[in-house]
Structure 1
Amino acid sequence: MDASAAALPLVRTLTLPSEANLNGGVFGGWIMAELDKAAGLLGMRRARGACSTVAVENLRFLAPLRVGEEFSIYGEVESVGRSSMRLKLDGFAASPSGGEQRRVVEALFVSVALDADGRSRPVP
């Protein structure tokens, strides 16, 4: 997936010193939480309502995300089952002053559409 100018990110944030690990990069757990937020937004849009992450089938850190960089997550629905969706997410880092984005993480999340009682329901 390319981070083209035409596509809007699901999540865009600035990495802060509070997210730093001992190497000056950003904690992988913080990145995972941001990916889960993006999966939630993408899943809710596709399912037209509540959904929940039930699995992360793939999570690959490709390059360090550094404190002070802008972190943008783009996503697309890879496939839809009866009540579940496979969501492909890609995270990119860039200088907040602009410039080239570089891919730092890719993931495949599985999300399930939920009814008002928290049980799975069909994806429309």
Structure 2
Amino acid sequence: MNAPSPTDMEMTLRTIAMPADANPAGDIFGGWVMSQMDLAAFVRANELAGGRTVTVAVHEIVFKKPVKIGDTLCVYTSIKKVGRTSITLNIEAWTRRHYEHTREKVTEAVFIMVAVDADGNPRPVAEAQQ
């Protein structure tokens, strides 16, 4: 299946799946994919919050297809909701298959990030936008 990339989301991170991140069968560990999604959530939430954010929850992570060694992993984000101190993001991970021109959605999840101050205490997101 050669699906188009999501047009209603922003590509926030792109990286290559390397052999060190794979099991003996050549499939990339789900934890590595999730960490890339977390990095993308961090980047997008920090931009919106104007400062440091931390991950407080991940909901319904769904691994739809494997990521293989050499695949380019593209992580897309969209803002679902902004609360007083929190930012909820939809995250999708897509691959561009190694030596192919196909794209496939491989993983999706909802991440909740909280804006924090220098001491790690929650702070209003609006403070960063002033």
TM-score for both structures, normalised by structure 1: 0.91
**Cα distance change of structure 1 residues 36 and 112 upon mapping to structure 2, 3 Å threshold:** same
Structure 2: give runs of 5+ residues left out of the alignment.
none
Indicate which of 77, 80, 98 corresponds to 1:78: 80
Q: How many residues align?
A: 123
Q: Deviations over 1:65-106 (max 9, x none)?
A: 111110000001100111001111000011355622110000
Structure 1: give runs of 5+ residues left out of the alignment.
none
CA distance in 2, matches of 1:7, 1:85: 15
TM-score for both structures, normalised by structure 2: 0.87
Please tell me whether residue 15 in structure 1 is matched to residue 17 in structure 2.
Answer: yes
Indicate which of 58, 61, 66 corresponds to 1:59: 61
CA distance in 2, matches of 1:10, 1:82: 23
Please tell me whether residue 94 in structure 1 is matched to residue 96 in structure 2.
Answer: yes
AA partner of residue 93 (structure 1) = T
CA contact (8 A) 1:58 1:109 kept: no
Aligned to 2:20, the other structure's residue is in SS state helix
CA distance in 1, matches of 2:74, 2:109: 13
- Seq. identity, %: 34
CA contact (8 A) 2:115 2:125 kept: yes
Q: Post-superposition shift, 1:115?
A: 1.1
CA distance in 2, matches of 1:23, 1:47: 40
CA contact (8 A) 2:10 2:78 kept: no
Name the structure 1 match of 2:105. Answer: 103
**Cα distance change of structure 1 residues 4 and 60 upon mapping to structure 2, 3 Å threshold:** closer
Backbone CA RMSD of aligned residues? 1.8
Q: Post-superposition shift, 1:22?
A: 2.8
**Cα distance change of structure 1 residues 49 and 18 upon mapping to structure 2, 3 Å threshold:** same
Bigger mean CA deviation after superposition, 33-42 or 92-101? 92-101
CA distance in 2, matches of 1:96, 1:12: 14
